[in-house]
Structures are given as C-alpha cells and as structure tokens.
C-alpha cells in the first residue's frame, strides 16, 4: 500500500486514474458532549461516522467510460467528489496519469484540475444564474489558459457551443432562458472549455426529462470520440450503463463488489448483489439471469456488517462470509469480484 509521502506510482500506461484502498468517513457527532455515552455503568466516548467509501479499488483506462453503478446511498457520488478533490479522502490514495494527487496542495493540483473536469447531476445548480453563457464558458478558459487571447477564447466558445448543439448566437443569454437539456449541454460545454482528458459525470442525465436523456447521453459519447475523453460515469440506471459503459464497477456500501467489461457483466454477473440488481430490471430478453433473491434491507453505513458487507442479505452466506471480508480478485474471465462464494467455486 502507498505511504503518505509517496507521489508517484509505477507507470501503467493504459490507466489514467487509479483509486487504491480509498475510504471516506463523515463524522456524525461534532461536540465532545455528543460523543459521551453511558455503557455498562461507565462513561465512554463514541465517535460515530458514516462510512461512505470503504477501501474502494478501481482503475479507469484511457479512452474508456467506466460506469459506477449502485443503489442510492452506496457512496458512488462521494467517490466522484473525492476523485475530483472536492472532498479529502480519509485514507487511501488516488493516482492520475501515474502521479499521486490526493495529497497535493491546491497549487500543485492546479495542472490536474485543467485535465480533470466534472459534470454534475443538476444543471440548474451547476451554472451561476448571474453569468451569461459566454461568461460561464470564458471563466474556466481564462483561469486555466491565461495566455489565450480574447479572440482565441471567443473562437473556442463558438466551437464548443456548436459541438454541444447550442447556437453560439445565444451566448449572451442567462441559464434561466434555457431548458433543462440545454442547460446540461452548456454545463458539458463549460467542462470542455479546458480541453480535459478525463471527465467525472455524476448522474448527468437523471435530472432531465426522459425524452432528453438519450440526446445528452449521445452528446457525451460523441464528445468522447471526438476529443479522446475518458469518463468515470456515476449512475444508478443499469440501462444507461449497458448503453454507455465500456466497463462497469458495482458498488455496495462504499466498496466495489464487482468490476467487469459491460457485456460480460450483463451476460455473466458473478457477485450475488450484481445478479440481484440485474434481475430487478424488467426484461423481455430471456438470455439474462433469472430473478435473484435478496434478504432484508441495505444496512446502515454507520454500523457496517462484519465480514462481507453483503452477508446479511445474501442467501449464499456461510460462516467465512460473516467473519472475513472478501478481497477483490480477478477471475479467469477477467472479471474482478469480491465474493468468497465465487472464489471457492460455490457460485457459478
Ligand atoms: Fe454472499 Fe459470501 Fe459472496 Fe458475500 S462473500 S456475496 S455473503 S457468498
């Protein structure tokens, strides 16, 4: 595991982003008085935390769209924010193009901020209502490319607006003058203004009308091809994953339980949680796996289950599952899966 002072990882050319044993906790109690509790007649100090990410491991290859999927509250949006440096990790490390970035100062991080951009779920909140589209697009270009002339920036705004399907003649308008789909296109244009290599998209279509979702998804795919972009794409929607992702990471209680090529994951899911997620999709396609049964409810991320986080809901759980947390290991087919049952050959 990496040490705190380490700044570079061994170069692995096809990996643009690497997340290693990443954890993020949010303390629940702030004051000392809130932390003190009586237990068996003694005063003890308890600091409860929400364990949003728990030793998550993944890497994103150059040029791919890695989708992170999981139920609401599984930690996927927190993962996006920690990767982007919007939240500090509690432990673990993040590497971008071989350089460790989670321990950099704000100044040291600046060159990476140009190369990494984020698209948020809510296009209403991510654009400043007091800025015209032109001002909103100028801002990141001026900040990250201070040597660009006014003419070069104006040309770039025109080019980027055209590429996202918004008329450049509308650049003096304010965000409220646009529809939700157009605003998300403008948010995408803003992210493209710095010529990024890597985009973290956090549920970028889930706030849009269904009729608009496919258009914005197609726009993101076109931008990927035209600009050689790499995506970390956060979603709860498996139909989006199937359409958009080259690989999929399935998250449960802040940990990656399965990571595979999209086609492999949909045809041959290995982890019992992935099987349950896929079997919950209404389908006409009979080639998909039969309905998988889940026990109980998602446990709270405040008190995580011991052993495999999924064991209270898994019909295949045994004593080892209740005691020992499974590691994410690679199967012969190349799928990474954290499940004792799969590793022992008990599950197909
Ligand atoms: Fe189920 Fe055990 Fe696999 Fe966890 S490790 S998913 S409890 S079989």
> Who contacts 30 (Cβ-Cβ below 8 Å, separation ≥6)?
none
Please list the residues that pair with 94 across neighbouring strands: 19
**Residue 190: CB within 6 Å of ligand 1?**
no
Ligand 1 centre to CA of 318 (Å) is 8
Report the C-alpha gap between 89 and 193 in whole angstroms: 28
Give dist(CA 245, CA 66) in Å, integer: 6
Cα of 252 from ligand 1 centre, angstroms:
12
- Using the mean position of ligand 1's atoms as its centre, give its distance from the Cα of residue 59 in Å: 23
Q: Could you tell me which of 288, 290, 296 has the C-alpha nearest to residue 317? A: 296
In this structure, the residue with its CA closest to atom 6 of ligand 1 is 339
Whether 339 is in the pocket of ligand 1, judged by its Cβ within 6 Å, is yes
Question: Which pLDDT score, from 0 to 100, does residue 54 have?
Answer: 97
Does residue 97 line the site of ligand 1, with CB under 6 A? no
Give 1 Cα–ligand 1 centroid separation in angstroms.
25
**Which DSSP symbol is given to 316?**
T
pLDDT of residue 28: 82
Helix (H) or strand (E) segment spanning residue 347: none
Alpha carbon nearest to ligand 1 atom 3, residue: 339
**pLDDT the model gives residue 253:** 96
What CA–CA distances, in Å, run from 179 to 106, 157, 247, 293, 304?
A: 35, 20, 31, 41, 42
Q: Are 218 and 295 contacting, i.e. CB atoms less than 8 angstroms apart?
A: no
| Cα atoms found within 13 Å of the Cα of residue 286, Cβ hemisphere only | 0
The protein residue with its alpha carbon nearest to ligand 1, atom 8, reads 341
Would you state the pLDDT for residue 293?
67
Q: What is the pLDDT of residue 284?
A: 55
Judged on CB neighbours under 10 Å (0-12, 13-18, 19+), 130 is exposed
Mutating to test ligand 1, I would choose from 310, 319, 343, 347 the residue with most ligand atoms within 8 A of its C-beta, which is: 310
**Is the CB of residue 321 below 6 angstroms from any atom belonging to ligand 1?**
yes
Tens digits of pLDDT across the chain (348 residues): 333 334 444 445 699 999 999 999 998 866 666 666 777 777 777 778 899 999 999 999 999 999 999 988 899 999 999 999 999 999 999 999 999 999 999 899 999 999 999 999 887 778 999 999 999 999 999 999 899 999 999 999 999 999 999 999 999 999 999 999 999 999 999 999 999 999 999 999 988 888 899 999 999 999 999 999 999 999 999 989 998 999 999 999 999 999 999 999 999 999 999 999 998 776 655 555 555 667 777 788 898 999 999 999 999 999 999 999 999 999 988 999 999 999 999 886
Prediction pTM value: 0.88
92 lines ligand 1 (CB under 6 A): no
| 337, 347 contact by CB (below 8 A) | no
Q: Is 269 in the pocket of ligand 1 (CB under 6 A)?
A: no
d(CA 53, CA 221): 28
Å from CA of 49 to ligand 1 middle: 25
* Confidence at residue 13, expressed as pLDDT on a 0 to 100 scale: 63
């Amino acid at each position: 595991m990496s040490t705190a002072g380490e700044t570079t990882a061994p170069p692995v050319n096809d990996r643009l982003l690497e997340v290693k044993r990443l954890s993020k906790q949010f303390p629940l109690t702030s004051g000392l008085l809130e932390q003190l509790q009586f237990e068996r007649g003694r005063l003890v100090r308890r600091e409860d935390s929400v364990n949003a990410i728990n030793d998550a491991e993944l890497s994103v290859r150059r040029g791919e769209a890695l989708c992170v999927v999981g139920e609401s509250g599984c930690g996927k949006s927190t993962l996006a924010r920690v990767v982007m440096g919007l939240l500090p990790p509690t432990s673990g490390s993040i590497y971008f193009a071989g350089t460790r970035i989670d321990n950099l100062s704000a100044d040291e991080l600046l060159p990476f901020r140009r190369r990494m951009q984020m698209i948020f779920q809510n296009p209403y909140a991510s654009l400043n209502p007091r800025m015209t589209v032109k001002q909103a697009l100028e801002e990141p270009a001026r900040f990250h490319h201070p040597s660009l002339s006014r003419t070069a920036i104006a040309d770039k705004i025109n080019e980027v607006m055209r590429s996202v399907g918004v008329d450049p003649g509308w650049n003096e308008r304010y965000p409220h003058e646009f529809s939700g789909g157009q605003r998300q296109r403008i948010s995408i244009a803003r992210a493209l203004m710095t010529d990024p290599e890597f985009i973290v998209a956090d549920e970028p279509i889930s706030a849009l009308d269904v009729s608009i979702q496919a258009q914005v998804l197609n726009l993101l795919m076109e931008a990927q091809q035209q600009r050689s972009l790499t995506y970390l794409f956060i979603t709860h929607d498996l139909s989006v994953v199937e359409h958009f992702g080259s690989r999929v990471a399935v998250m449960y209680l802040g940990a990656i339980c399965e990571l595979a090529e999209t086609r492999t994951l949909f045809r041959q899911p290995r982890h019992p949680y992935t099987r349950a997620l896929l079997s919950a999709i209404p389908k006409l396609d009979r080639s998909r796996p039969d309905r998988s049964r889940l026990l109980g409810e998602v446990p709270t991320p405040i008190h995580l289950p011991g052993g495999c986080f999924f064991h209270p809901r898994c019909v295949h759980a045994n004593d080892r599952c209740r005691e020992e947390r499974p590691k994410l290991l690679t199967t012969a087919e190349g799928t990474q899966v954290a499940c004792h049952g799969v590793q022992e050959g008990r599950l197909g």
